[in-house]
């Protein structure tokens, strides 16, 4: 097991984000998606908000290229709310982009073309590509929505989207790496599975330079990422059981246990909500109950949440 887990700088990091935070790899991914042939990474401008979190919505990669504002997101769990999340985020980005202009003048204020892409590599079955629409969330269906936002969701698991993978070596090798981690994790402890996958990939020339130069951080992030994925599965399963059982405390207790674990690592409620993609107010309420009485069991906290028990 690696002894350098302290190198992780961002609890929200994933191997995907580490790979594509450099302009060269990001440009390669853009070219693969758009059948373009840009070869000057310096023409790509990283465009992120100063604040890490705005209303708990954070975009993984925002960049300007050829008058397009691209918002890329990597996810290991399916989220149908991405159009709404991106709507909130793009509004903030465009506010930043036009801060030196006035939108109340008679002159048309020009803005870049927004484009939204989700790179999905969760374990739930999803098609190679699909379009998520903001209008799908409208309480009342309309034939011609006056406000629409479309998000392209691509399945980047190994074996999917072959044409795209053939165009982006980095994306293809990333999919191979993740596939090996998951395969070995079924046979051994996650720490051993990650180290074996990293060693084999380096030996076989898969993400060789990246894995060799950032080996300790990649191992630490991969372990963290895998554990997060497993915990998200528990949350989704718990939410499903809550829906079937009309919100019984037993289902919420699993969520409380996960939040307790995160808090024990020193994370505050805002960071926990970001990681677990949950309502910040709900996470804060649970966190406050845990701080108020650390001796409360997960089930006791859950019973308070569903109104079966009053706080003591």
Q: Which tens digits make up the pLDDT trace of 188-203?
A: 998 999 999 999 999 9
CB 139: neighbour CB atoms within 10 A? 4
- If one compares 89 and 32, the residue with the highest pLDDT of the two is 32
38-44 — which CB contacts under 8 Å span 24+ positions? 38/65, 38/66
Tell whether the model's pLDDT for residue 245 goes beyond 60: no
Average pLDDT of span 167-179? 97
pLDDT of residue 246: 44
Taking the C-alpha atoms of residue 26 and residue 126, their distance in angstroms, rounded to an integer, is: 24
pLDDT of residue 8: 39
Q: Which tens digits make up the pLDDT trace of 262-274?
A: 888 788 888 787 7
Tell whether the model's pLDDT for residue 253 goes beyond 90: no
- If one compares 210 and 306, the residue with the highest pLDDT of the two is 210
Q: What is the pTM of this model?
A: 0.75
132 forms beta bridges with 151
Q: Which tens digits make up the pLDDT trace of 19-44?
A: 998 899 999 999 999 999 999 999 99
Per-residue pLDDT band for 14 (boundaries 50, 70, 90) equals confident
Per-residue pLDDT band for 233 (boundaries 50, 70, 90) equals low
- If one compares 58 and 126, the residue with the highest pLDDT of the two is 126
| Per-range mean pLDDT, top range of 3-12, 130-139, 297-306 | 130-139
Give the DSSP letter string of the chain: --S-GGG---TT--HHHHHTTSHHHHHHHHHHHHT-----GGG-EE---SSS-BTTB--SEEEEETTEEEEEEEESS--TTHHHHHHHHHHHHHHHHTTTS-TTSSSPPP-PEEEEEEEE--SS---SEEEEEGGGG-SS--SS-SS--EEEEEE-STTS-HHHHHH-HHHHHHHHHHHHHHHHHTTS-HHHHHHHHHHHHHHHTSSHHHHHHTHHHHHHHHHHHHHHHHHHHHHHHHHHHHHHTTS-HHHHHHHHHHHHHHHHTT--HHHHHHHHT--HHHHHHHHHHHHH-TTS-HHHHHHHHTTSS---
If you search the block for the tokens 């718990």, which residue do you land on? 238
pLDDT of residue 4: 36
């Amino acid at each position: 097991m690696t002894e350098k887990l302290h190198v992780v700088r961002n609890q929200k990091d994933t191997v995907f984000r580490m790979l594509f935070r450099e302009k060269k790899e990001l440009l390669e991914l853009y070219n693969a998606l758009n059948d373009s042939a840009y070869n000057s990474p310096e023409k790509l401008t990283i465009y992120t908000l100063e604040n890490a979190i705005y209303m708990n919505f954070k975009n993984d990669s925002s960049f300007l290229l050829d008058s397009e504002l691209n918002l890329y997101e990597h996810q290991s769990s399916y989220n149908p709310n991405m159009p709404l999340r991106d709507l909130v985020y793009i509004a903030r980005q465009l506010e930043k982009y036009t801060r030196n202009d006035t939108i109340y003048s008679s002159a048309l204020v020009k803005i870049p073309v927004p484009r939204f892409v989700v790179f999905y590599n969760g374990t739930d079955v999803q098609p190679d590509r699909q379009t998520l629409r903001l209008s799908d969330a409208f309480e009342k269906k309309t034939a011609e929505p006056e406000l629409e936002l479309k998000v392209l969701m691509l399945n980047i698991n190994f074996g999917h989207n072959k044409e795209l993978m053939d165009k982006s070596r980095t994306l293809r090798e990333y999919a191979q790496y993740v596939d090996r981690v998951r395969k070995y994790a079924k046979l051994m402890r996650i720490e051993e599975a990650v180290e074996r996958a990293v060693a084999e990939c380096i030996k076989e020339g898969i993400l060789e330079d990246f894995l060799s130069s950032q080996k300790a951080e990649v191992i630490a992030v991969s372990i963290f990422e895998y554990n997060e994925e497993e915990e998200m599965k528990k949350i989704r399963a718990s939410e499903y059981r809550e829906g079937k059982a009309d919100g019984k405390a037993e289902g919420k207790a699993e969520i409380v246990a996960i939040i307790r674990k995160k808090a024990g690592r020193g994370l505050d409620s805002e960071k926990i909500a970001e990681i677990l993609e949950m309502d910040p107010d709900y996470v804060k309420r649970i966190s406050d109950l845990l701080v108020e009485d650390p001796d409360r069991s997960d089930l006791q906290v859950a019973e308070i949440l569903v109104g079966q028990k009053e706080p003591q």
